[in-house]
Amino acid sequence: MPGRESDGVVDAAPATPNLGLTPSRRSCPVRRFPLLALLLLTALPLRAEDAAPACVAPGAWADSTGKRLEPAPLLRRTAEQPVVLLGEQHDKAEHHRWQLQTLAKLHALNPDLAVGLEMLPRRLQPALDRWVAGELSEATFLAESEWRSVWGFDPNFYLPILHFARMHRLPVVALNVERGLISRVAREGWASIPEAEREGVGIPAPPLAAYRERLLETLAAHNRPDSAPETAQRFIEAQTVWDRAMAERIAETHRTTGRAVVAILGEGHADHRNGVPHQLDDLGLPGSVVLLPWDADRPCAELDGRVADSVFGLGPSQEPAEAARPRLGVQLEPTADGVRIGSVLENSVAAAAGLNVGDRVVTAAGNPIRRPADLTAIVQRQAPGTWLPITVRRGEGTQEVVAKFPAE
């Protein structure tokens, strides 16, 4: 997870960590657990599914069983809580419109708010501070926040929320850590990460049994039923560390500012109160409220009485399908001396070109590559059917490879 490079994955399709997975339209475990793409390196086909009737009327609020709720008392109660988590599927514009509308309503009831963003790691907090202070244009903010390299989803989804925060001078807080840390936990395990390299993240609360089981089921459902126990454990640890990092930042913001925090984050970190809400409880900040948008075609069976505190019904999507964009299929890791390839997606353009884990990218199309965003920008400009020459440092020498993007 959004063109994008997510978690350093140069594939020009917005996402949180995704190595080329294609999620299904409904109830997709990758949507819920974007970290899965750190481990799963095979593309998933789209499944054709029959349209389902809307279980939540468009424009209406409902509880987690689908029972309609009156919006005024619901929003009043919500505005009194210390933390509100507004979930999203990152690539759905209507979800972000709903987030903005909900944020505005909560602000009208409680103007003493801060906004938390999953989208940026905490080292980029200065860019958010300068944005809120009115010091940056949109273009400068997107450059200083390294938006396209650290997140990559269409900034136009998020800019209205950022403008709202700036207009009302609401603090905006970067909740995330570097994606490289999460990837490293998935590879090596949390215990292997030296404390000095943990970005200040503490020891996560053990995941709830239901959360753990759901993560294991997700691995099995995506052709990993025989995953080694240590691989599954590292995946669960990485997801839990990610949840903990954001929860700690939310709790710190609330306690140091006294403001209620409205967090904008992927629904997989919040639904069923498993991820961030569970970690907030462990941090002594219970009472967080989970609100989700509910797509018209989402199965009614997912209204299981636990999915969220409340959901808001959306009408049928009128958004045109996003055109397919070039995907190289690598995970990039910034290093002190440039950009390293951390993983290569099987059957990808990168694999066919002969790119290897450990290669250090020197140039692409003759342009020097100093950070992941440099390569991302070049890949996103590639037209279907074109070739991209890439120079890498491998061992003691350099090697030229050619990435050949398919015509369709």
CB 340 within 8 A of CB 360: yes
Same domain, 286 and 159: yes
Is the model's pTM score more than 0.85? no
The conformation of residue 73, written as its DSSP 8-state character, comes to H
> pLDDT higher for 229 or 66?
66
The helix (H) or strand (E) run that includes residue 83 is: strand 83-88
Same domain, 130 and 232: yes
* Domain end among 251, 282, 313: 313
**Segment 288-296 mean pLDDT:** 98
Phi, psi of 222 (to 5 degrees): -115, 50
Looking up residue 406, the CATH number of its domain turns out to be 2.30.42.10
Q: Label residue 79 by pLDDT band (50, 70, 90).
A: very high
Asked whether residue 16 carries a pLDDT value surpassing 90, the answer given is no
Same domain, 251 and 361: no
Same domain, 154 and 242: yes
**Segment 140-164 mean pLDDT:** 94
Could you tell me whether strands 387-394 and 397-404 are parallel, antiparallel, or unpaired per DSSP bridges?
antiparallel
> pLDDT higher for 84 or 24?
84
The helix (H) or strand (E) run that includes residue 100 is: helix 93-109
* Domain end among 313, 343, 362: 313
Q: How far is CA 380 from CA 153, 266, 387, in A?
A: 12, 24, 13
Q: Please check whether residue 258 lies inside any domain of the structure.
A: yes
Same domain, 330 and 300: no
Same domain, 150 and 256: yes
| Structural domain for 390, as ranges | 326-408
Asked whether residue 333 carries a pLDDT value surpassing 70, the answer given is yes
